[in-house]
Structures are given as C-alpha cells and as structure tokens.
Structure 1
Amino acid sequence: MARSEARVSVDIWDDEDFIEVTVPAQWQFFFLLSQRDLAHSGVLPLRERRWARSAPDLTEADVIRNIAELEQKRYVVIDDDTEELLIRSYIRGDKVFKQPNVLRSAADHLPLIASKKIKATLLVELCRIDAEEDMAEGSRQILKEMIYTLEREVGQASASPSATPTQNPSPNPSGNPSPEGQNKPSADPTRGAPGERGVVTAVRSDSPLPSPPSPDSAATASPSPNAADEPSPPPGRDEPGSRPDVDKICQHLADALVKAQYKRPRITKRWRQEARLLLDEKRPNPVDLDKVLRAIDWAMEHDFWRRNIQSTASLRRQFDRMRDEATTSGRRGNAGTTASAAWNPTDPETYFDK
C-alpha cells in the first residue's frame, strides 16, 4: 500500500522537546516524513547524498548534521552499517496501529529490515503501543504478531531469547545477558553506549568443536613436496593484511571503543572497506592515516561523538562534520575533560592538520 500523503499532528508544536530542535533539523524531520519510500513500519533507506539535492542551498553535510541532531534527540534511529533510518514513533504518531490494513503492511515489511538495532527499537515502540493505546481487536492481533516476530529475531541475537512477547519491556530491549552459565558467545559488534538504545548481539554457538585428526589420517596426509617453497597468495581487497593503514584504523577504533567501556566490535570486511574508502576517496581536505587516528581519539573525548562513532562506517560518514566542529570550536573536549595528548595542537585552526 503506497503512501500518498504525510500526517503531521498540530500537537507537535506543544512538544517541548521538538521546539528545542533547530529549524534545519525540524525541516529534515518533516522531509523524512514525506518520503515516498518511507515504509509503514517507519523505516526508510539512508540516502543523505540524494536528499541533499532537494534544495539549492542544501549540502550533504547539512543533511548529515540535521539527522545527527534528530538522532541525538531520539526522533530517529540510524544504522550506518545497514544504511537504514527509523522514525522512532512513526507507527504511533501516524496512527498506523488504528488501521488494520496499514498495520498489516507494516508487519509485512519487518523481514526487509536488516538492522538489529532498529528492530530492537521498534520492538520497544510496539510494546509501548500495546500497553498504552486502545485499538480494534484486529489491529491488536497484528500488533502482537509483530511483537512476537521481533522478539524472536532480536532474541536470536541474545543469549537468552524470550519465548513469548514482552508486555512491558525494559528501556534496553536486549537485556544484558549474564556472563555466567552460558556458552561463550561469538563477538558481534554493538553500537551505542551500554544500556542505551543498543542491543547486545552475542550469538551462542551450538556447533560442536571439530574433532582432532586421528594419527592414521595425519599419516595419510600427503602435502605437496614443494609446499614450503610455494608463496602464499596475496590477500584480497579489504581482507586482513591487504592494507596495513586500513588495518591500523580498524584496530585503533576497536581498541578505543573498548577503552571507552564498549564491547569490542568484530572487525569485518565492511569495516575495512569503509576505512579504505575514508582514506582513498576525494575530499576537500585530504585525509591520511595520522589524521584519522587522531580523529578517533578526539571523538572518544566527546560524549556525543563517542556515542555516534561506533564503526568505521559512521567514522567515514561523520568525518568531515567532526573536522568542521573541531577546527571551528577549537575545543579540546567537553567541559571538564581534556582531549588526549595527540589532540593538543598549538593552533586550534589546524586540529586535523597537525
């Protein structure tokens, strides 16, 4: 069911939080609400470059800045890795839950959402609607089906999945699985501060460990006589070892996140690809390894950026905005903090160039 209009409640101007949002970010919010490809679930693809062509004086940096402000105020949730955006309260604000056919369309869209972070946030919103809103029995049944579906999908990424829908979820939809009494989880990255809108994605492995080779099988193995002399094939693009500078960026960001009390992320091929593009793509101000490493350190000293730079994708996406903020403000951290020694330039105007 295609959307032909966007609904904006007149009560939005009574929302004290919304009137504290800047005019550009308010415009961006209404822009997102009116996109044709906004699903009834409230999710749409993240397309900053394309959206920047919507006005002659609008730039991609403006769009990124506006969306970052909306995310900080929790009007939207973004996932840089899956390139998706959720208008958090869309199903509630647009009264989707009061229209069974439209709600069914939202339910049908759930399998197309790739982001576990967005699914976890959507689960909380649906549980809130189920607990607080009146609706027809048909809508209630569809809503409970959606909650059950999302609990199973989000639960598959937790150590203790719930078998039944949660009526009153905690603000942290993942829960924090106890480290005791569980199989060792595989490391899967999470984005967001512990307990804040993120979802712990520790996946239990039930696969048996491979059996050690028997002496007979070892004896029958016949390696090539020239195996020791054959050179190893070079690593493929975006594979470990293909670019030492890329590997260093990924490792530095992962270590910085651990130091900032986040779970250690898993360095994937996507991580290395985003780091490579950050170094190689053309920018108004050239980027090199040293600038990227110091940008990571700078971000970890700022509460806002520390929450938002959780992967190389978000680092690449927000790099120019961080540079602009650092060079124009000349700040060395938030009030009461001091940036690391690598970020104490003598000239604030050369924050990213020293």
Structure 2
Amino acid sequence: MARGHGRILTSIWEDPDFLALDEKEQRLYLFLISQPNLNHAGLLDLTLRRWSRKARGLTSAELEKLLQRLEETHFVVMDDDTEELLIRSFVRNDGVWRMPKVMGAMVSGALEISSPRLQAALLAEMDRIPLDELNDEPTKYKGQDGPSIRQQVVIHISTLRKAFGTPDPDPSRRGSATPSKAPSGTPSDTPSQPPAEGGPKGSTRGRGRAPHAHSPAPAPAPTPAPAPNPVVVEVGEKTSGSSEPTPSSPDGDAPIDIDGFALTDSMRRWALDTFGPGLDIDYETAQFVDHFRAQCVRRPNWPAEWQKWIRRSAKYASERATRPQLRSVAGTGSRADTHTADDYTNSKVEDLFAS
C-alpha cells in the first residue's frame, strides 16, 4: 500500500551535514523520503527518468549528479546493478525502530533488497539503533507476560541478520574500504562505510554514463548477441528498460540457460540455514527458472536474483500462514464455502515476482 505522507524531523534544519547541501540536493533528499513507494526499510527503486519528470527542466543527468552528492555525504546508498537506492538512516529517523510491528514490516521490506552493498549498509544501521532507549518491561497479553518492546525489536533485527548472513558489499573484489568519519548523531551521520566498488556502469533506467564508485561491473555473460538499447517508458506503454526481452540463441535457449544458471550446494545450504526446511527449494527453483525462461530476460547476477525469489517466497509463505480464514455467510463447512485469504489475492507467479 502506498504511503500517504513522509516524515520530516524539524531537527533536520539544525543538522550541519544537511545544511551543507545546496538547495537542489536538499530538495532531492526531501523528495526521496516522501515517495509513495518508499518501504519501511528505506528502499526505493532507482528510476531516474521517472523522477526527472517531477520538475520542469529536470534531467536524468542532473539527477545523477545530485544523487552522487547525496551518496558522497552518506545520505543514500545506491547500486546500479540492482537499480536500488537505500535512504540510509530512514529506519532510525522515521521512528520505525520504536514500534515492533513496524519493525516486522521493515524486515519484510528489507528482504526485497538484492544488493549486497545495500544489505551491508542496512545491517550497519541496525548496529546504531539505541536499543537501551526501548522499554524492557514485559508486555501483557491475555493476562500473561510477553516479550518486552526491546526484546521484540531485537528479535526482528536478529531475523534480518540471519536472512542477510554476511553480505559482501564488494562482490567484484575490486573495491577498497574507506574508514568513515565519526558519527554526528544527525540524519546524515555516517556508519562504517561499505567498500567502494569500481568500474563504470551504464544503467538500464536512464542514468548517465559517468563512472560510479558504487557500481560493480558484473562478469560478462556469454551472450551470442548484444541486448537491445534500453528503453524506459511510463506505466501503460509497451516496454521498459529493465524488462525488455533479450534475444535468445539460435537454438531457442533463454538467457538463464545461456548463462548456465544452476542450483549449487552452497545456495541450497543458504536457503536451509536461513528459512529452514519448510520451503521447497527444488520447487521454488523450478518456478524461478520457468519464469525467466518464459520472460526471456537477462539478469546481471542470477544467484542474487534467485536469493531474491527465495526471500519473497518465504515472505509470502509466512504471510499466508498468518492470514485468518474467511468463511462465507452460509458456512456449510465444504471447500466451496471455505476460502483462505489467498483465494482473494492475485497470486500469479509472474505478477508476484516480476521486476
């Protein structure tokens, strides 16, 4: 569900880091935290061409420069490969960490992150949540003691750490770690900065082709023909840059087959250790492969895309398990009169997992 408002702390106008930004950089930050599709983890899709249409005369190239400045000053973290942007201190500044139920929604939103760089940045933010400020008195539920607010938040953070494991913020191994300055306690305060990543990379969402320290270059895929030039359009038009079908090989293989994607033992262990035996990994992997064969699109990192699929599958399975059953008024008890909430949702695989 889209948000109806964005929360801006009045203290931001006393933050020396924010005041050091120029007018356009400040406006862009306020624009980002007021986006309707911003989730509780502070995650946004990186859609520069769409954003450039929100002000007369604004261009994708100018947005590119402004975002680079926000990243240099640690307000945001970006990944061109996965086309994701994280508002780094959003969980703390929006008060998400104070409310256990909202923290649960934050974990669900965080599981949407594909970028190891963004995962590492969000985990660093979890270390900076002032847990000692949370109430540690047991909560009451039906006359019995339950976990305190602090304990509930700690459980959510532990769940996130277990799901992410130890993300490598520099998959290409070409970055160099840069020590960060001491945190200032303001919206722009700086955690341990993830290693910079090398290599220029053009974006499929209309970003400029300036070199980026945050853009790892993926290993070249053995494709027989170059992919078509990316085209980004508004909703309702025919194509978009991130989902344009990639020409298949002469024998009809899809990109996922050409690139040689396969389920490895380490991937299977990761899924088992993270989500337990309740998730059918072979079934989900078969669904994943069938989906991308049908879509005939290429992803820069198939294992990361697979992990995203598995996280979403686990998320939907958990949501289905906690939804109450809905019964018809007649309520005869037959299958025709008894439905789960899933029967009223659009559960088509292509819709759930389409990028």
TM-score, normalized by length of structure 1? 0.47
Q: Per chain length, whose mean CA-contact separation is higher, i.e. which structure has more relative contact order (CA < 8 Å, sep 6+)?
A: 2
Q: Which has the higher helix share?
A: 1
Greater C-alpha radius of gyration? 1
